[in-house]
Amino acid sequence: MPLHLGPDDGPPSMHDLLATAGYRAVAAGLRLGVFDALADGPLSVGDLAAALGADPRGTGLLAEALVSFGYLTGGPGGYANTEETTKWLAGDGYSTVDKFWSVVLFESWEGLEESVRTGKPAIDFYAWLAERPDVLRRFQGMLSGHADAIAPEVASVVPVGARLLDVGGGHAKHAIRLCTAHPSLHATVVDLPDALAVGAAAVTDAGLCRRISLLPGDYDTLDLGEDYDTVLLFNVVHGRPAAANEVLLKRVASALRPGGAVVLLEHDEHPADRASDAFARVFSLNLFHGQGGQVYGAAEIGGWLASAGFGEPVTHPLTTSPGQSLVVARKA
């Protein structure tokens, strides 16, 4: 948790040094299971170390660091989760987000300078993910949880006919929600094989195997089909260079019937609140580093849509996910 230091507490980079060290300490706490071990009540340092199967001195020093950042209270006689820690970090809820982002920031950002210097992504994010099945599972889990939260609002905006294609739809939650709401809808979800394995389990659990087809492969080269009423492109264009998006949107246009709609879900380039704005900029840097993408502005996305043959896009800011919007455009 931020220490809210003042100007007399050292140079600005010192504040960030502490914040970064605090986030790394939280990541260690999550990976070692500190917050789960304390979920049922306080433990002495010895008992905490035993519960983690960890070294008592190392456990005590980590616990002290977590106390200084406000994640734990107490001391060697008994460390406890704070109320906020219990709410956000114990269990499998929001902690998935921190488990994912801490690996991204502390491992994949190693070559950030190289990306900035060369203008080319120093890592291939999806190849990097494929080598880390746990991180991939968390990534899809995080997206899937977010999709659950926004799905009702998304379903109220997405125009639906008889056939829908979800490009990069991995976890399949949007296809499931829309097929549940529209009994005559059939959906196809395209994604890389590892991501679709997550979607396959969700589709089976939802009992929708007959109405949702899963198409594994590369959406840049697969035959996407034709005559769809709707194509979803959720959180996809920000993970790609502009030129690749222009080509993909033309492929999407070919897959739609005349009058069909493409719906993009994207982060706003400059959200109104400070935290979302800072996140959009850091996220953009991360996308550039791992995928050659970035958070694109509405004008640039509108330009790609126009050159792919779509009409004027309509933007729907999401109240269930502030800082993100749906962009709907019809094929002329």
Binding site for ligand SAM (CB under 6 A): 126, 143, 147, 168-170, 190-192, 195, 218-220, 234-236, 239, 265
Minimum CB separation of residue 210 from ligand SAM in Å reads 22
Where is 189: in which H helix or E strand? strand 186-191
Minimum CB separation of residue 305 from ligand SAM in Å reads 18
H helices of the chain, where? 12-32, 34-37, 45-52, 56-68, 83-88, 95-107, 112-118, 125-130, 133-157, 173-181, 193-205, 242-255, 274-291, 298-307
Contact 89, 23 (CB under 8 A): no
Question: One-letter amino acid identity for 326?
Answer: L
Q: How far apart are CA 220 and CA 250, in angstroms?
A: 11
Minimum CB separation of residue 103 from ligand SAM in Å reads 16
Minimum CB separation of residue 118 from ligand SAM in Å reads 21
Question: One-letter amino acid identity for 277?
Answer: D
Work out the angle at residue 321's Cα, subtended by the Cα atoms of residues 233 and 235, and round it to the nearest 5 degrees: 20
Q: Which is closer to ligand SAM, CB of 32 or CB of 264? A: 264
Q: Which is closer to ligand SAM, CB of 24 or CB of 316? A: 316
Minimum CB separation of residue 155 from ligand SAM in Å reads 14
Q: Which is closer to ligand SAM, CB of 163 or CB of 238? A: 238
Minimum CB separation of residue 185 from ligand SAM in Å reads 17
Minimum CB separation of residue 157 from ligand SAM in Å reads 14
Contact 231, 252 (CB under 8 A): yes
Q: Which is closer to ligand SAM, CB of 36 or CB of 268? A: 268
Q: Which is closer to ligand SAM, CB of 220 or CB of 226? A: 220
Q: In sequence order, what DSSP letters do the residues of 118-163 get, joined into one string?
A: HSS-SS-HHHHHHT-HHHHHHHHHHHHHHHHHHHHHHHHHS---SE
Q: Which is closer to ligand SAM, CB of 26 or CB of 151? A: 151
**102 contact partners, CB below 8 Å, separation of at least 6:** 23, 24, 26, 27, 30
Q: Which is closer to ligand SAM, CB of 47 or CB of 194? A: 194
Q: In sequence order, what DSSP letters do the residues of 201-227 get, joined into one string?
A: HHHHHTT-TTTEEEEES-TTTS---S-
Q: Which is closer to ligand SAM, CB of 52 or CB of 265? A: 265
Q: How far apart are CA 140 and CA 157, in angstroms?
A: 23
Minimum CB separation of residue 298 from ligand SAM in Å reads 18
Token output for 262: 């493409």
DSSP letter at 91 equals S
